[in-house]
Structure 1
Amino acid sequence: MRRAVFPGSFDPITLGHVDIIKRALPLFDEIIIAIGVNAEKKYMFNLADRKRFISEAFSGNSKVSVQDYTGLTADFCKEKEAEFIVRGVRNTNDFTYEQTIAQANAKVNGVDSVFLVSSPEFSHISSSIVRDIARNGGNYSSIVPTSVTK
């Protein structure tokens, strides 16, 4: 079985994330959407809400599960017997950042990374932008799944 982990804080999940996950589904038998929890980080949406947003966005898809974890992503992959990490890249800055982490994960932990380039219509979207719009009372419904705006 080819199992992959798609890690992130998903604060909140965006249509860019959804696009990457949907495009990764044909490549793997199972994708674990892994919400990383960092006690030092201040989140806009609590963990229960982030899990619900993702679960609702992928309800009915048996190939997708949602779990949270602390610590290293590669350790979580080993625990879940996932051989791959899926990452979306929007631009060269994302690629440069992700490349270094991917090389370390492959060398030290034996977990390979699969990069999917963002679809052009989603390349401008990030969770940071969503949070900024939300903090300032703007309408972000066009860049997140409907589960986030309920």
Structure 2
Amino acid sequence: MRAPIAEGSGYAWFANRGIGRPVPESLADGIAWLRAWLDRVAPAGRPIVLAGFSGGATFAGGVVLDDPARFAGLATLYATLPFDAGVPTTPGRLTGVPVLVAQGDADAVIPVELQARTWQYLHGDSGAQLTARRSPGGHGLTRDDVDTLAAWLTDRTG
């Protein structure tokens, strides 16, 4: 799915205050937009897994944090969760939610402190059913990442 906000030569899910730092009002508008679309095409009760890379993963994380019970899982790849952007990141917020997180040790795009905060939250306070993967590479999917994501999605969707 293409993000709705035209930005430069591409598209974005939210306005930001810097990489990985969504403007709260913009993130809330995007979440409302996606939720309205989902309500039309996939009524509640249908399992939905959100997956994204970079900004798309930050957005997907915000959507799931906003209403964790609505989703069957979250795959956040080479991104940060949208901390300090109006969605709850309280302890236990993702209890029971399957989450796949992948990060690269040499990722020079997502700020290091946001990568660390995401990793720590998901491994600790979130309560998520976590599958975690670190690679030595930078800000890009590897074949191993794709294979891990495919296996993880298969486990979620049968």
By relative contact order (CA 8 Å, sep 6+), the higher-ranking structure is 1
Same fold (TM over 0.5): no
Greater helix share, structure number: 1
